[in-house]
Amino acid sequence: GINAEYGDSWCGACSSQCCRRCEMGDNGKEEHPCQDAVLKTIEKISQSASRKLKELKAQCDSCIQDLNDSFDSKRYLPTLLSACKCLEPKPMFLAIDCLTQLMAFGFQNPVPTAGDIDLAMVDAIVDVLCEVMQNKSKSGAKVVENEDVQRQVIRALQVAVASVNSEVHDSRLLLAVRTCYLIHLTSRNSVSQATAKGALDQVLRTVFDRVEVEVKDLLEQRNGNPDQEELATAPESPEVYIEGDGADGEEFTAQLSAAPPMIEAVEAVDMTGEADPEPHEEQEHDMDMSLSAPDPNRKLVAGPSSPRTGEPGRLDLLQKDAYVLFRALCRLSTKQPPEGATLENHSMRSKILALELINSVLLRSAKSSFSSSERFVYVMKNYLCNSLAQNSVSSVPAIFRLTTSIFDTMLAHFKEPLKTEIGVFFSSMLLRILETDSSNFSQKLCVLQMIHKLVQEPQQIVELFLNYDCDLDTDDLFNRLVMILSRVAQGVASTCAGDMLPEQENALQKQALESLVLMVGSMSQWAEQMRSLEKPDQSAAEEEEDDDEHDDTEGLASPKLNEQEKGFDARRKRKIAIEEGLKKFNASATAGLKYFEKNGFLSEMTPEAVAAFFLSFAGLSKKMIGDYLGRSKEFNKKVLYAFTDRFDFSGRSFDSSIREYLQAFRLPGEAGMIDPIMEKFASRYFEDAKAGEYADVFSTPDAAYVLSYSIMMLNTDLHHPEIKDENRMTLEQFQKNLRGVNGDQDLDPKFLEGVYKGIQESEIKLKDDQAEWYNYDEGGSNKLKAVAWETESKRTLSQMQDQLRSRKKAVFYTSRHPIHASPMFELARWPMLAAFSQLLEAPKSDTATVTLCLQGFEHAIHTACIFYMPTERDAFISSLYKFTQLSSLREMRMRSIAAINTLLKVALREANSLQSTWHLILTCTSQVERLRLMGIGARQESEFFVERKQAKAHRDVSEQLGMFSPADSQEDATYVVSQVDMHLIQMLFEGSSQLSSTAVVDFVMCLCLVALEEIHAPEPRIFTSEKVVEVAYYNMDRIRIVWSKIWQQMSQHFYKAGCHPNLRIAMYAVDSLRQLAIKFLEKEELSSYQFQREFLNPFVLIIENNSLLDVHELVIRCLAQIVQARAQNLRSGWVTILQCFSLAATISFSTICVLGFELVEQLVTDEQYRAAAEPFPEFTWCLATYACNQQNTTISLSALNYLVTLAEKVAAGEIGGRWEDDLKIDPSSPAAVKVWEAMLVALVRVCWDPRGQVRGKAIDAFFALMQNHGHSWPMQLWDLVFTKLLFQNLFGGILDNSPTYTCIEGQRCDRKDWLQTSCESAMCALVDSLARHTDKLRPYFEATLDFLQNLITQDLSNPTISVSGVAVRTLRYMVTVDLLKHTELCDSFLHTIQYLLVETAPKELVAQAVASAQADLDDQSKEDAVAAAAAAVEAEDVVPAAPE
């Protein structure tokens, strides 16, 4: 290290800051450590110099003597420099080596100098070395070509630039770079070339690293001492900020142009922006090798060439060095090599080297502070972009490859300041190369390789979409990229200039396919990364809200969009609306205008607004505008006038005016549409030209109109390729055609000549017109395609330069929100699906292509699942399933097997998001299992379920359809199954327990659907049905709510399978259900839940809907096993079991009825099944059902006995379960009322049994319960008994006029038989009950009398049935029982009798009899009176009196 005592002292001998003190020689003089080395070097130089170098030898001898007296750099440096210029290799090598060692060990002079022309020692050394290497003399050329000298010069210059004690800046820096550049170009030795190139790279590294170190030091000093004004400012001076090509940029360029004249000499370009000079000879094409000779008056003094670290102005100096170097490289890269130059040409090598160094600089500066420097951004915008624009159209593979590499670096690291430029290059360079047929194979492959690298970075493709596809002012780069990649991958856009080999075409397709796969993979990867980054940032409250509202099917859950991210969405929607409008407009201008008006892009549908819209709205078809303006409708004419009136042709020539006018639209092809347009233009130009210098050109508007037409004809005649040169219109012909058009006068010949020459030199066409007169590609040769490429390149270069000149300041957006990948996938989904499907289906696709396609399917499905895009997910999975070819074994290939494995992997990965697409996946597993059985030679499942003849018939049909053949099916199936990962299938079903609550329901639903399809196929199978059972086992421990949804699907499957017409399948379903039931009932059920009942419900449905005896028997026996195994855990399940037993008694077979009743008897008699009475209403109903069965009277009577026994147990409170406590503690509780109600309802149901013996016993039992236990019944129960059970159900049939009466639950009986045999006994039993419980039943005595009164007084439709007689006998029976001893009841009874006597008396018959008797009496009185009168007359002595 530096000695502290002498660290700050300067050596008097060499003027360097030594790392150790000078030593004292034997003579007592101060001796410098380098003195001996310098002396020996000078002695060697003197000895190696030839005789003709007498001056050099003498100078060496003199120097040795002087150095022995006093060692000083001023004495030995001139000698060493002279040796460098001696043009002899050995002395030069020794001198340069010595100087290199001196600079390397810090013995050069860094002391400040005074005087403008004084040079530091390093500057002098650099000047001499560079001057020597540019010596053009014959002897100098030989020396320059010496490999050792070249490498030594390179080393010396590299050391000089890297020196930390005396740095090289400005012109010397460029001079050193230029010399290394020259050696690389002129040297014939590959080692020297590589050394020079490495030195250039090292020099650039040193220059840019110094900037970074200085910035870092300044920041550290500022943080340590923030009060310093110099350090408080930003590392870069604000006055160097450049934006665009404005005045500030020109001023900054002018400031840099004030650098020493050596800069211009090195770059061979004028830095003020003027045109470059003509290139020199080939070896001097890239750099001007003529350097002005060093000033002989300059002095070698001790002094540094730049400020030290931390000093004011140093950062600006270092940045200026970097800027000038980079600008020089950019300008060198724009030098065009001679036509036909090869890669060995110096100019070509110069361009390639410049591009390589530029790429190196960009990569090195990507993460440095200089990359954000306004100076660096300025030079990239104004010089680097110009270089890229010119080199992007190069057909040289090396140049184009370097250009794309530079652009890739810009895209990766400088996209923020160069957003507009990147958009231009991406569209005009990369996408154009892939779209056009004129580019060659190497160009397309190079672009695809760059895109391949681009799409591997998820952030880059997302930013590409946000900044260009969501920007209204830019092209849809991402959308175009996807479309082009899809077309290239499919081979649609694989045409190239020149003949392309099949291998090359496959290489392009594969590269494009890889890019598509990486792109869709990057989308999903980016979304997942962003989602994982956002989760830790959410607060606990937000997480709770998200959990409450979360749905597994909602896809990607993310935080709310901020304002910037909402802006992306709004801009994207607006851009989509514009694109839709442009599509409509380009198809029909009228429809497009209506669309734009509707969506707010066109303010109003007026001529002025439409005209302004045509001129201001970008993207409108110029052809459609021209067609619209040329129509003859009145509104179109008004639009044409308003459109033309918006132009101002004042002071403009006719040629420039018509060119400007025709740039706004394309003239229509019909003469009738062109005429009004040209007429209006001529009128407008004539009016505007009146006040200008062109006022005297036309005397009338008609002259301008005729000239306009003539110009259109001339333009076509001069530039149409099908017209031969000798047939083109001449100037004289053009003038002759226009004679007398200007008011019977001729137009000025000079004016017409100017118009003719203008059209001849520059064709009138739209600037953005991509159409050419002819197509080089259709059947053209390679030469024509090369011409097409050159023409297209020129046009593209011109367009890029125009766009770069008109660029606007754009804001670069970045986002960390995962939702932005969703619209990206919406754009890419169908092109990707088309590419993957076509290549996967192509018979020539190799294994690598198939693997890529399947990876693309996998990534696309994953992305669709992330963002919950069901349409896209279903489309990709359906296509992938189609490629499995499982429907035909003969057509299966390796790609089909790979598709099967991919489909299974997708199912495992995206299990929670597949929803209805599970159907295809599970169908695939079913088919694979079928192949497995076929491969191992096992019997197919269908053989167990169909007869042999039927199975053989199905097999024959399958052979005809190609599913398998006897010869090769087993071998092929074995091979297929060996390649399929069967473990994935098992994991698929085992993993169902890990699915989300929503996904597992979808999975089970599709599983059951596939299982039903299997069992209903011509060759039924039960593989999936077995998996239904397995899945039920795996998921039985889920929470009950989720399990209920799962079982809702499974129960339907078991029900439908249990009702299958094939007995074996139905029995398999019932037995599977039994196994699951026993497993499910291992867990106890809490009270008030109905899970067991729901689970066992398929048994009920099977009995109700299956008419097979064996199935019914199996169901009953399965239920018996369930009861026997899990009776202690049965709760709500008893309801279903008892319901099944009831169905066995009603709708099943007689044997099943007996079997079922045996089980019911066991439940009633065996104490271990006391829990069966838990659902007491269902239990009594089951007994009542067996009591009402019409197949076996013995069973009916036994069931009725059990009902009576059970009733007694109810009265005693010994029925067990939860009812027992209620009956014992409070017989009047609602629970007790419910028990008694169930019992009484069951008995009432049996009371209308068509068999007299059964119903009589039931009636007796019913009323016996009323009489014996009614005293404990609450009034609520009595009210139910009288209002519902007695008057509505039991005696309700008395008032029914139909022949039969249907009681509870369809219990039917002949009404006449019941009235004759059972009605009166039931009525009397009712009276006995009233008498037994008179005090409690007084309120119902009136109701009973009213009911009897109603029976007696009603008008019976069938007089043969004496219902009233039964009622009268019942009233008479009331008198005989001890019921009317109560005065209150007796009064009611007498009132009823009185009412009945009155109501039932024959009133009409009595009235008629009285009337008849009265009439007879009246007639007799009249006869007697007449007879008396007659007798009196006869006696003549009696006077007749009036009769009384």
Helix (H, G, I), strand (E, B) or coil at 614: helix
Q: How far apart are CA 755 and CA 910, in angstroms?
A: 71
Give the mean model confidence (pLDDT) for residues 1284-1307.
Answer: 70
Contact yes or no for 179/121 (Cβ under 8 A): no
Indicate if the pLDDT at residue 370 is higher than 80: no
pLDDT at 373: 75
Comparison of pLDDT for 360 and 269, the residue scoring more: 360
Question: At 244, is the pLDDT very low, low, confident or very high (cuts 50, 70, 90)?
Answer: very low
Helix (H, G, I), strand (E, B) or coil at 158: helix
pLDDT at 147: 84
pLDDT at 778: 41
Phi, psi of 24 (to 5 degrees): -100, 130
CA dist 566 → 558, 819, 944, 1148 (Å): 14, 11, 62, 67
pLDDT at 275: 34
Instruction: Write down the number of H helices and E strands in the chain.
Output: 63, 4
**Which of 364-368, 800-804, 1108-1112, 1162-1166 has the weakest average pLDDT?**
800-804
pLDDT at 962: 45
Percent of the chain, pLDDT > 90?
Answer: 19
CA dist 612 → 289, 592, 601 (Å): 57, 15, 12
- What is the helix (H) or strand (E) element at residue 686, kind and residue range? helix 671-689
Give the mean model confidence (pLDDT) for residues 227-244.
Answer: 36
pLDDT at 213: 82
Give the mean model confidence (pLDDT) for residues 1231-1258.
Answer: 87
Residues contacting residue 1342 through CB under 8 Å, at least 6 positions apart? 1388
Q: How far apart are CA 516 and CA 236, in angstroms?
A: 42
Indicate if the pLDDT at residue 583 is higher than 50: yes
Contact yes or no for 1152/1102 (Cβ under 8 A): no
pLDDT at 540: 42
**Which of 348-357, 1360-1369, 1429-1438 has the weakest average pLDDT?**
1429-1438
Ranges of beta strands (E only) in 1340-1413 are none
Question: At 26, is the pLDDT very low, low, confident or very high (cuts 50, 70, 90)?
Answer: very low
pLDDT at 1297: 61
Contact yes or no for 48/98 (Cβ under 8 A): no
Contact yes or no for 901/943 (Cβ under 8 A): no
Question: At 942, is the pLDDT very low, low, confident or very high (cuts 50, 70, 90)?
Answer: low
Contact yes or no for 1073/1099 (Cβ under 8 A): yes
Comparison of pLDDT for 472 and 592, the residue scoring more: 592
Indicate if the pLDDT at residue 465 is higher than 60: yes
How long a stretch of residues is the chain?
A: 1444
Helix (H, G, I), strand (E, B) or coil at 30: strand
Phi, psi of 964 (to 5 degrees): -160, 160
Contact yes or no for 382/249 (Cβ under 8 A): yes
- Cross-strand pairs, 581: none
Give the mean model confidence (pLDDT) for residues 728-755.
Answer: 84
pLDDT at 785: 53
Give the mean model confidence (pLDDT) for residues 1064-1076.
Answer: 93
Number of CB atoms found within 10 A of residue 1293's CB: 20
Contact yes or no for 823/475 (Cβ under 8 A): no
CA dist 163 → 173, 176, 218 (Å): 12, 13, 21
Q: How far apart are CA 1287 and CA 1351, in angstroms?
A: 12
- Torsion-angle region of residue 1106: left (phi > 0), alpha (psi -120 to 50) or beta? beta
Question: What is the 3-state secondary structure of 398-421?
Answer: HHHHHHHHHHHHHHHHCCCCCHHH
Q: How far apart are CA 366 and CA 372, in angstroms?
A: 9
Comparison of pLDDT for 1383 and 546, the residue scoring more: 1383
> Which among 193, 353, 375 is positioned nearest to 285, based on CA atoms?
353
pLDDT tens profile 868-878: 899 999 999 99
- Cross-strand pairs, 31: 23
Which range has highest mean pLDDT (124-138, 754-768, 1110-1124, 1285-1299)? 1110-1124
Residues contacting residue 1259 through CB under 8 Å, at least 6 positions apart? 1247, 1318, 1321, 1322, 1325
Residues contacting residue 548 through CB under 8 Å, at least 6 positions apart? none
> Which among 623, 629, 624, 628 is positioned nearest to 645, based on CA atoms?
629
Residues contacting residue 224 through CB under 8 Å, at least 6 positions apart? none
Q: How far apart are CA 135 and CA 86, in angstroms?
A: 11
**Structure-block tokens of residue 32:** 């410098």
pLDDT at 270: 33
pLDDT at 1101: 93
Helix (H, G, I), strand (E, B) or coil at 23: strand
Question: Cα 814 from chain centroid?
Answer: 19
Indicate if the pLDDT at residue 1155 is higher than 50: yes
Comparison of pLDDT for 520 and 236, the residue scoring more: 520
Average pLDDT, the chain: 78
Question: At 802, is the pLDDT very low, low, confident or very high (cuts 50, 70, 90)?
Answer: low
Indicate if the pLDDT at residue 294 is higher than 50: no
Question: At 224, is the pLDDT very low, low, confident or very high (cuts 50, 70, 90)?
Answer: low
Comparison of pLDDT for 164 and 366, the residue scoring more: 164
pLDDT tens profile 1109-1122: 999 999 999 999 99
User: Which residue is it, tokens 């002819």?
Assistant: 774
DSSP assignment of 900-918 equals: HHHHHHHHHHTGGG-GGGH
Residues contacting residue 1158 through CB under 8 Å, at least 6 positions apart? none
Question: At 286, is the pLDDT very low, low, confident or very high (cuts 50, 70, 90)?
Answer: very low
Q: What is the pTM of this model?
A: 0.75
pLDDT at 875: 94
Phi, psi of 23 (to 5 degrees): -90, 155
Indicate if the pLDDT at residue 348 is higher than 70: yes
Pairing of strands 1300-1302, 1308-1310: antiparallel
Comparison of pLDDT for 962 and 101, the residue scoring more: 101
Number of CB atoms found within 10 A of residue 1028's CB: 25
Contact yes or no for 76/68 (Cβ under 8 A): no
pLDDT tens profile 1180-1210: 889 898 998 888 899 999 999 998 888 888 8
pLDDT at 162: 84
CA atoms within 13 A on the CB side of 495: 14
Indicate if the pLDDT at residue 279 is higher than 70: no
pLDDT tens profile 1386-1433: 888 898 888 888 877 777 777 787 788 888 787 777 777 767 777 765
> Which among 389, 385, 489 is positioned nearest to 444, based on CA atoms?
489
Contact yes or no for 1049/998 (Cβ under 8 A): no
722, burial (CB in 10 Å: exposed 0-12, middle 13-18, buried 19+): exposed
Q: How far apart are CA 143 and CA 134, in angstroms?
A: 10
CA dist 1201 → 563, 1141, 1262, 1308, 1408 (Å): 81, 18, 12, 21, 58
Give the mean model confidence (pLDDT) for residues 241-258.
Answer: 35
Pairing of strands 23-24, 30-31: antiparallel
How is the chain split among helix, strand and coil, in percent rounded to 5?
70, 0, 30
Question: At 1034, is the pLDDT very low, low, confident or very high (cuts 50, 70, 90)?
Answer: very high
Contact yes or no for 176/127 (Cβ under 8 A): no
Q: How far apart are CA 814 and CA 565, in angstroms?
A: 9
Indicate if the pLDDT at residue 1443 is higher than 60: no
- Torsion-angle region of residue 512: left (phi > 0), alpha (psi -120 to 50) or beta? alpha
Q: How far apart are CA 126 and CA 168, in angstroms?
A: 9
pLDDT tens profile 813-854: 887 777 878 888 998 999 999 999 999 988 888 899 999 999
Contact yes or no for 33/22 (Cβ under 8 A): yes
pLDDT tens profile 603-652: 899 999 999 999 888 888 888 999 999 988 999 999 999 999 999 888 88
Q: How far apart are CA 350 and CA 283, in angstroms?
A: 10
CA atoms within 13 A on the CB side of 630: 19
CA dist 1117 → 1108, 1158, 1159 (Å): 15, 11, 9
Question: At 495, is the pLDDT very low, low, confident or very high (cuts 50, 70, 90)?
Answer: low
User: Which residue is it, tokens 């008198």?
Assistant: 1375
**Structure-block tokens of residue 112:** 């400040």
What's the sign of the alpha-carbon dihedral 295, 301, 305, 311?
A: negative
